[in-house]
Amino acid sequence: MAKWIWYPGDFELYHAMLVNNRREKRGMFYSPMWRVDAPNRNMRFYKIAVLEKPEFIRVIANSPDTELVINGTKHPINEKIKLEPGRNFIKVSVFAPATFPCVYCEGETFASDESWMTATFGAGDKNVGTNEMYISPDDDPTVFKFSYKTVYPVSSERVKDGTLYDFGKELMGKLVLESAGCPPQSLFAVYGESRAEALDPENAEINERFEFTGEKTTLRSRACRYVYIGGDCGGLDVSYEYEYLPIEYKGKFECDDELINKIWQISRYTFELNTREAYFDGIKRDRWIWAGDAYQSYFVNFYLTGDKDTVRRTTKMLRGTGKMYQHINTIVDYTLYWIIGIWDYYYFTGDKDFVRDIFPETKEIWELIYDRVDERGYIIGNPKKGDWTFVDWADTANRGTVCAEQILLCAAYSAFAKICRLLGKDEGEYQKKADELAKNITRDFWREEKGAFVDCIDNEERVDVVTRHANIFALRYGVADEHMKKRIIECVIKNDAIPRITTPYFEFFELDAMCEIGETDYFSDMLHSYWGGMVKLGATTFWEEFDPTQQGNEHFEMYSNKFGRSLCHAWASSPIYLLGKYVLGVRPTSAAYKTFDVVPNTLGLNEISGRVPVLDGYVDVKMNNGTVEVLTDVEGGTLVIGKKRIPLTAGKAVKADV
């Protein structure tokens, strides 16, 4: 099967370049905060074909500046050319100054595919890049391949000098206007995730003026639930071309608690909206690729779609190309998540080829990290070099020697050591650093009298201050021993005097850590009160931040902007992962699900059913009044009920009492 081919990584670099430069605010361009790398402009592709009989081929490219040479003779592109039996050397050189070089070759037995090579002009030749979305000569790899369906408003009403359209739920796509008697005129559109935002042109994040000519008008892709069209729009037909990736959503969950069912469905839709060229943070404001947001999206993906392609694209887009002088997204923690995420991707998918392909770029990152590591082995953000220590949107340390960052560095060392071991490379340096750093973190940050790790040890404003963040990381990434875990749960997690988490982002880490040590009642309470709190306020997608103490339009404010908060944020989709792993109980115990456990938890419910995608298969779990039934089509599974371990056989349902 013929495929479009390009230099490996160019497809991701090009679309990342477009994504990073699409952000807008109130009709004006909003520049990215980091370096944006570009793809190659000229490239040579070649293949040696040994044919048993003659055949005709056709070579096309995405640029007229293309040279096709077969066995030393030049030929025109986009015409049928006869190849003779025996050895044929096909060479295609493309110059695409505005995009990136792409080639497509089709024949009876010979076609462009992953076996072709690219000549990198002295840097070493590589196998080409491809993507399963681009297999037709009519495809254009420089246009990202979305699917579309038309959505109509559920209501409209005249407000002041315009009309407010409500589509009933959050959407991402293109606003379409057609005349049903509406005259040509100048109009303006205000997009809002809330009604209040759409009716506030001065403070809404996205608005624009445009000329309606009376003909069908399609505006650029944007997100909204509400659209306010200012002007005399009587006789105007309004619709939305909903834009999405046609990915199969394999994961399922249903129970006898309708609120939890609704939370799962809203999480799924939130995730779908943010699954695009890569995993986005949110679809209204940034529409950027942030490594921390993406790291959590990977886990949701593993329990919902099992899609490898979007994870790989996101990873490449975040990394860019060449030497790094600044952290990914400028954030210290996000560089570390990027490394950790590669090992997690392998552990869930077994895709060793991708880990091998990305290894050179992964190894190069350590040069940047070591530049920020001091003589004690601690990583310190350097604001003079543009570093941002994020951790969370909370009152926590972001200057000096920050505990949370050291724990992430320890996890990154450990993850890279595993990657090296997987690829047959020496992992000793990295594992040794992980072990030493874990000891030093305990020595310098643990306070027995507080039962906690402190935020920071050399920032005067934060010395010996305790928040949840570092302690959650200590639980999740294995820095805390059994004694410390008990103390942290008692003195931090279940201590109402310690400020609560207000972002779904860090609730992911908190609930994952708590569920892992068996505190699933805590998860159940947070599921109902936190995500359930957003549902009760009418959320159709889940938010970037939710503070239950806020009222009314306060829920929309963030970053000193009246409507700055994203109401459709990928990092709020974690109930899918948490319910799949800790209620349905499906979790790998070795890489690529060669072995896996099913440890069901009723969560106090009577009826639960669901499916978790496992590589190219599935695991179905049903619980009904104290009985569990598991059916899977892959080998290697074990049903775990207390101390009982019951082997699972592919295709055979197993029942047991919970």
> What's the CATH code of the domain at 601?
2.60.420
Mean pLDDT, residues 65-88 taken together: 96
Q: Does residue 337 form part of some domain?
A: yes
Q: Is residue 639 pLDDT above 90, yes or no? A: yes
Same domain, 612 and 630: yes
Same domain, 449 and 354: yes
Q: How confident is the model at residue 461 (pLDDT cuts 50, 70, 90)?
A: confident
Q: Does residue 91 form part of some domain?
A: yes
Same domain, 275 and 179: no
Per-residue model confidence (pLDDT) at position 397 = 81
Q: How confident is the model at residue 313 (pLDDT cuts 50, 70, 90)?
A: very high
Same domain, 79 and 152: no
Q: Is residue 120 pLDDT above 80, yes or no? A: no
DSSP of 546-564: --TT--GGGGG-BTTBTT-
Q: Is residue 531 pLDDT above 90, yes or no? A: yes
Q: Is residue 527 pLDDT above 90, yes or no? A: yes
Q: Is residue 140 pLDDT above 80, yes or no? A: yes
Per-residue model confidence (pLDDT) at position 224 = 97
How far apart are the C-alpha atoms of 184 and 173, rounded to whole Å?
A: 23
Q: Is residue 427 pLDDT above 90, yes or no? A: no
Choose the final residue of a domain: 530, 552, 582.
582
Q: Does residue 1 form part of some domain?
A: no
Q: Is residue 246 pLDDT above 80, yes or no? A: yes
582-636 confidence digits (pLDDT tens): 999 999 999 999 999 999 999 999 999 999 999 889 999 999 999 999 999 999 9
Same domain, 359 and 454: yes
Mean pLDDT, residues 222-235 taken together: 91
Per-residue model confidence (pLDDT) at position 93 = 97
351-398 confidence digits (pLDDT tens): 999 999 999 999 999 999 999 999 999 999 999 999 999 999 998 888
Choose the final residue of a domain: 453, 478, 499.
499
Same domain, 29 and 173: no
Same domain, 121 and 22: yes
Mean pLDDT, residues 26-44 taken together: 95
Same domain, 356 and 425: yes
Judged by DSSP in three states, 508 sits in: helix
Check if the beta carbon of residue 185 is closer than 8 Å to that of residue 212: yes
The helix or strand, by DSSP H or E, that contains position 159, with its residue range, turns out to be: strand 155-159
> What's the CATH code of the domain at 222?
2.60.120.260
Same domain, 597 and 569: no
User: How is residue 379 annotated by DSSP?
Assistant: B
Mean pLDDT, residues 169-186 taken together: 92
> What is the number of other CB atoms lying within 10 angstroms of the CB of residue 309?
13
Same domain, 521 and 484: no
Q: Does residue 490 form part of some domain?
A: yes
How far apart are the C-alpha atoms of 405 and 381, rounded to whole Å?
A: 9
Q: Does residue 16 form part of some domain?
A: yes
Q: Does residue 284 form part of some domain?
A: yes
Q: Is residue 436 pLDDT above 90, yes or no? A: yes
pLDDT above 70 coverage of the chain, percent: 100
Q: CA-CA distances (angstroms) from residue 253 to 249, 264, 608, 609?
A: 12, 7, 7, 6
pTM across the whole model: 0.96
Same domain, 345 and 485: yes
> What's the CATH code of the domain at 482?
1.50.10.10
Q: Does residue 172 form part of some domain?
A: yes
Q: CA-CA distances (angstroms) from residue 482 to 163, 166, 261, 521, 589?
A: 60, 52, 34, 20, 21
Q: Does residue 139 form part of some domain?
A: no
Per-residue model confidence (pLDDT) at position 234 = 81
Same domain, 492 and 517: no
Q: Is residue 463 pLDDT above 90, yes or no? A: no
Question: 178 lies in which domain range?
Answer: 147-244
Choose the final residue of a domain: 535, 561, 582.
582
Q: Average pLDDT, whole number, for the chain? A: 96
Per-residue model confidence (pLDDT) at position 121 = 74
Query: Into how many domains does the chain fold?
Result: 5
**Tally of residues, the chain:** 658
pLDDT above 90 coverage of the chain, percent: 93
